[in-house]
């Protein structure tokens, strides 16, 4: 790491010159599902404000609120019809102001979700654009004439397949051209090639909220603004479909870095706003680093999805055909994205859940028994809290919320993507494809992360009023898994999250800024790595060994003393364990470093001055 300022403290180094967001814990709120304050079955901003003390007590430094802007809700608010208004079920602009104040009063910050690759078809800009071919806003969106096949039949300008299945082009009868949409037909893509359009984005969607005190943005689909403007067909790789995957045509395009630098210079930098970009289809560190290099002056950090996409069959046709993976595969990906910034001026992020994926404990943990669920949820917490970079949690992760029950049918899936992929499998007429898609959805669907937050064991899990039908069904297990129950249990998943988030701050030199070295890369059950602090003048070298048993069987402990370089007279210290009853203190090596129990995690720290 470059440019750290070190000051001796109680437990290591303080990084006085580093921006606040590097050591922060961010918490993503999916507002429709977090807390309903008025009994309409839909979560809202006043509900979020009512639980700010819960988030502060957890250890959250910054809240990231998913889209709440005016929207027809074709894609849960990722289809914005007015960036300066709030969708009425969420509240009002005044409620956002109150949320900003509630965060700042508690020493916390707030970022909003910025969706500017596309708008809703109901946005005033698009209504103008489609009104006539000579409208001044015509080129604010991407319009192309039809092509015609040998029989004279009208066909789309390209053969590209969209993210929600089907073509990326929709015909507009009035102006006799197609418009581009990478997602649903309700979500036409903005044309970033238009300077006037870009300036309107900066003014209407960014400065408006930054002036009101918002601290930055999570930027949706950030690497899709620059398309390849020759609009050529993609190679045919799916013989069963007329629409072909074509991310190379719209991801990381020729002007993308120019556009992001301009966005930073004109809209983010004047306000000191933090930026975290959603960077899909960018699997190589050499591709990612230009976005997050401090010298490049683009984004502060990005979400790279190689790890969280494990188990998916790709981004397009087979996405929801589940592909089993091994622990060594996952470890290799984690190691790659933990180390890619070493020796550079870049930064990275840490996350294993968000609103677009199944629950981490259901995908990477073990929910086969109540005991293994709790043990694996704590192990995942320790894993995330000890990785280098900025940590992002998703609502409900801290109490171990799980995927929807297997007994629930497809009718419980509300998401446009889930429904599109299921409909596509049915249209194919292949029973195996239908069953494979249903199995994949049961593990991976975005719906799992969007069911209501489980606050207590009262009707509707305390999310909304008794007797109200919530927008999504409340999980069957809310009486066993809920925040209220875990608050009073020192051994709960929630209590463990609070503990490790405090340790992450206390030992930030190791866990936030430390280097990462993977051990036992091919072990099928043990996830082990060494974290070492960056050493500067006046600071002592320290190491931590993280041991995580990702299995149902006990596993031998590694040679902790040798790995951490301690002598016989300098025993490594156990910093934290996920096991409720603690750690055996004995004289023999076996007593000091016993076998790891199923889904147990431990952190040992080298002895020496704190």
Predicted pLDDT at 608: 56
> Would you say residue 461 has pLDDT above 50?
yes
What tokens does 449 get?
Answer: 């992360």
- The CA–CA distances, whole Å, from 500 to 200, 346, 474, 576 equal 43, 25, 28, 8
Mean of pLDDT values over 150-155: 96
Mean of pLDDT values over 50-71: 98
Predicted pLDDT at 517: 98
Contact between 291 and 223 (Cβ < 8 Å): yes
Q: How far apart are CA 317 and CA 326, in angstroms?
A: 23
The listed range with the strongest mean pLDDT (483-487, 561-565, 605-609) is 483-487
> Would you say residue 559 has pLDDT above 60?
yes
Where do runs of H (alpha helix) occur along 222-308? 256-263, 285-292
3-state secondary structure of 195: helix
The predicted model scores a pTM of: 0.95
What tokens does 41 get?
Answer: 């079955």
Q: How far apart are CA 102 and CA 610, in angstroms?
A: 35
Contact between 379 and 600 (Cβ < 8 Å): yes
Q: Domain 124-180 is of which CATH architecture?
A: Alpha-Beta Complex (3.90)
Burial class (CB in 10 A: 0-12, 13-18, 19+), 195: exposed
Question: DSSP secondary-structure letter at 244?
Answer: B
- The CA–CA distances, whole Å, from 163 to 170, 222, 256, 507 equal 14, 15, 20, 41
> Would you say residue 607 has pLDDT above 70?
no
What tokens does 161 get?
Answer: 């397949």
Closest CA to 605 of 555, 561, 551: 561
Class of domain 20-122+190-238+249-487: alpha beta
Bridge-based pairing state of the strands 526-532 and 543-549: antiparallel
What tokens does 86 get?
Answer: 């709030």
% of residues, the chain, pLDDT over 90: 90
Burial class (CB in 10 A: 0-12, 13-18, 19+), 169: buried
Mean of pLDDT values over 583-605: 82
Question: DSSP secondary-structure letter at 403?
Answer: P
Bridge-based pairing state of the strands 25-29 and 62-65: parallel
Confidence label for 16 from pLDDT (cuts 50, 70 and 90): low
Question: DSSP secondary-structure letter at 31?
Answer: G
What tokens does 235 get?
Answer: 């190679």
Question: DSSP secondary-structure letter at 207?
Answer: I
Residue pLDDT, tens place only, 527-543:
999 999 987 666 678 99
Residue 36 annotated to the active site: no
- Average pLDDT of the chain is 94
Residue pLDDT, tens place only, 171-225:
999 999 999 999 999 999 999 999 999 999 999 999 999 999 999 999 999 999 9
Q: How far apart are CA 353 and CA 28, in angstroms?
A: 9
Predicted pLDDT at 315: 74
Predicted pLDDT at 228: 97
* β-bridge mates for residue 111, sequence order: 64
- The CA–CA distances, whole Å, from 297 to 46, 69, 116, 265, 286 equal 36, 28, 20, 8, 16
3-state secondary structure of 286: helix
What tokens does 1 get?
Answer: 């790491």
Other beta carbons within 10 Å of 518 = 17
Contacts of 23 (CB under 8 A, 6+ apart): 15, 61, 390, 505, 508, 512
Predicted pLDDT at 15: 53
What are the start-end ranges of the E strands in 339-407? Answer: 349-350, 390-394
Predicted pLDDT at 194: 98
Burial 471-495 (b: 16+ CB within 10 A, else e): bbbbbebbeebbbebbbeeeebbbe
- Output 45 or 17, whichever has higher pLDDT: 45
3-state secondary structure of 63: strand
Contacts of 191 (CB under 8 A, 6+ apart): 139, 140, 141, 142, 197
Predicted pLDDT at 592: 81
Question: Is 515-605 assigned to CATH 1.10.10.10?
Answer: no
Question: DSSP secondary-structure letter at 601?
Answer: E
Contact between 302 and 498 (Cβ < 8 Å): no
Tokens 């309903």, located at residue: 36
Predicted pLDDT at 7: 31
Q: How far apart are CA 160 and CA 148, in angstroms?
A: 16
Quick one: which H or E segment has residue 170?
Answer: strand 169-172
* φ, ψ (nearest 5 deg) of residue 390: -90, 130
Residue 304 annotated to the active site: no
**Active-site residue (options: 75, 278, 398, 424):** 278
- The CA–CA distances, whole Å, from 576 to 339, 523, 557 equal 24, 22, 15
Contacts of 537 (CB under 8 A, 6+ apart): 6
* Positive or negative: CA dihedral 149, 423, 355, 199: positive
> Would you say residue 6 has pLDDT above 50?
no
Closest CA to 479 of 501, 506, 512, 457: 457
Mean of pLDDT values over 394-418: 97
What tokens does 531 get?
Answer: 């974290």
**Active-site residue (options: 113, 177, 220, 600):** 220
Confidence label for 54 from pLDDT (cuts 50, 70 and 90): very high
Predicted pLDDT at 1: 31
Predicted pLDDT at 583: 55
Residue pLDDT, tens place only, 568-583:
557 799 999 999 655 5
Predicted pLDDT at 585: 56
Closest CA to 314 of 137, 440, 158: 440
Q: How far apart are CA 30 and CA 38, in angstroms?
A: 17
Confidence label for 565 from pLDDT (cuts 50, 70 and 90): confident
What tokens does 44 get?
Answer: 């809202």
Q: How far apart are CA 501 and CA 390, in angstroms?
A: 12
Map out the domains of the chain as residue ranges. Answer: 20-122+190-238+249-487, 124-180, 515-605
């Amino acid at each position: 790491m470059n440019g750290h300022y070190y000051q001796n403290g109680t437990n290591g180094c303080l990084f006085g010159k580093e921006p606040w967001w590097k050591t922060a814990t961010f918490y993503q709120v999916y507002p429709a599902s977090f807390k309903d304050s008025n009994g309409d079955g839909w979560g809202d901003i006043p509900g979020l404000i009512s639980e700010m003390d819960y988030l502060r007590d957890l250890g959250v430094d910054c809240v990231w609120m998913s889209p709440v802007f005016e929207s027809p809700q074709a894609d849960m608010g990722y289809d914005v019809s007015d960036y300066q208004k709030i969708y009425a079920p969420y509240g009002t602009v005044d409620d956002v102001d109150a949320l900003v104040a509630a965060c700042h009063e508690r020493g916390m910050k707030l970022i909003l979700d910025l969706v500017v690759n596309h708008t809703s078809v109901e946005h005033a800009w698009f209504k103008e654009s489609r009104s006539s071919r000579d409208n001044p806003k015509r080129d604010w969106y991407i319009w192309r004439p039809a092509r015609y096949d040998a029989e004279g039949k009208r066909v789309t300008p390209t053969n590209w397949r969209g993210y929600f299945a089907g073509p990326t082009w929709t015909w507009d009868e009035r102006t006799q051209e197609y418009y581009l949409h990478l997602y649903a037909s309700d979500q036409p893509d903005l044309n970033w090639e238009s300077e006037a359009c870009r300036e309107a984005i900066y003014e209407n969607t960014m400065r408006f909220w930054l002036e009101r005190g918002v601290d930055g943005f999570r930027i949706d689909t950030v690497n899709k603004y620059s398309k390849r403007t020759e609009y050529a067909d993609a190679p045919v790789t799916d013989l069963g479909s007329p629409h072909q995957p074509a991310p190379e045509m719209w991801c990381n395009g020729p002007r993308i870095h120019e556009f992001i630098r301009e966005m930073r210079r004109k809209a983010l930098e004047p306000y000191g706003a933090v930026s975290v970009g959603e960077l899909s289809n960018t699997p190589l560190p050499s591709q990612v680093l230009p976005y997050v290099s401090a010298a490049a002056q683009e984004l502060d950090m990005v979400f790279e999805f190689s790890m969280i996409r494990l188990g998916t069959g790709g981004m397009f046709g087979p996405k929801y055909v589940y592909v089993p993976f091994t622990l060594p595969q996952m470890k290799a990906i984690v190691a790659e994205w933990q180390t890619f910034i070493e020796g550079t001026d870049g930064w990275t992020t840490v996350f294993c859940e968000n609103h677009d994926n199944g629950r981490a404990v259901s995908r990477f943990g073990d929910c086969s028994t109540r005991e293994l669920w709790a043990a694996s949820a704590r192990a995942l917490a320790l894993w995330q809290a000890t990785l280098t970079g900025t940590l992002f949690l998703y609502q409900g992760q801290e109490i171990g919320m799980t995927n929807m029950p297997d007994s629930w049918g497809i009718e419980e899936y509300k998401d446009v993507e889930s429904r599109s992929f299921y409909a596509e499998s049915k249209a194919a007429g292949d029973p195996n494809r239908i069953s494979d898609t249903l199995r994949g959805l049961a593990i991976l669907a975005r719906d799992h992360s969007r069911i209501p937050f489980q606050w207590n064991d009262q009707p509707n899990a305390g999310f909304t009023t008794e007797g109200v039908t919530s927008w999504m069904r409340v999980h069957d297990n809310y009486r066993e898994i809920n925040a209220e129950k875990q608050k009073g249990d020192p051994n709960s998943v929630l209590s463990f999250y609070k503990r490790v988030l405090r340790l992450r701050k206390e030992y930030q030199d190791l866990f936030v800024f430390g280097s990462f070295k993977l051990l036992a890369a091919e072990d099928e059950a043990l996830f082990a790595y060494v974290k070492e602090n960056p050493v500067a003048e006046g600071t002592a070298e320290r190491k931590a060994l993280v041991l995580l048993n990702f299995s149902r069987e006990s596993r031998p402990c590694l040679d902790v003393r040798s790995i951490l370089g301690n002598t016989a007279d300098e025993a490594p210290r156990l910093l934290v364990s996920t096991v409720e009853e603690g750690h055996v203190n004995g004289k023999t090596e076996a007593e000091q470093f016993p076998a790891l129990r199923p889904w147990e995690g431990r952190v040992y720290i080298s002895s020496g001055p704190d």
